[in-house]
Amino acid sequence: MSLEDRIALIEAVRYVDEVIVCGLSCDLTTCDVLRSVKPEMFAKGGDRTPENMPHSEVELCEKLGIKIVYGVGGGKVQSSSWIVKNCKKAPTKP
């Protein structure tokens, strides 16, 4: 899913105030954004658990008093990696 599609999807949720995109120097965590915004809550999708989240994010949320909410949106039906994997298998039209 493209970044633009992800942003549009998240912005469509009425409870979302603002979508912030990680910068180019991002370390693949949201730690920099969490430090700057200091939200009350950090929502994680249906595929995230305390066990598979970056430890730096969990530790920072604990330090800053940010509540982590898991399973937002329910269980994951399909992921972008699932789509890519299955598109590669699909036969192409002549």
Which percentage of the chain shows pLDDT scores above 70? Answer: 79
Q: Provide the domain limits for residue 53.
A: 25-88
Is residue 61 included in any domain, yes or no?
A: yes
Is residue 37 included in any domain, yes or no?
A: yes
Write b or e for each residue in 15-52: b if 16 or more Cβ atoms lie within 10 A of its Cβ, otherwise e. Answer: eeeeeeeeeeeeeeebbebbeeeeeeebbbeeebeeee
Is residue 10 included in any domain, yes or no?
A: no
Tens digit of pLDDT for each residue in 11-41?
A: 998 888 888 887 777 778 889 889 989 999 9
Q: Is the pTM of this model over 0.85?
A: no
Instruction: Work out how many domains the chain is built from and give that number.
Output: 1
Maximum mean pLDDT: which of 31-35, 80-84, 88-92: 31-35
Is residue 48 included in any domain, yes or no?
A: yes
**Predicted pLDDT of residue 79:** 62
**Predicted pLDDT of residue 59:** 95
Is residue 15 included in any domain, yes or no?
A: no
User: Does 2 have pLDDT greater than 70?
Assistant: yes
Is residue 93 included in any domain, yes or no?
A: no
Is residue 55 included in any domain, yes or no?
A: yes
Is residue 8 included in any domain, yes or no?
A: no
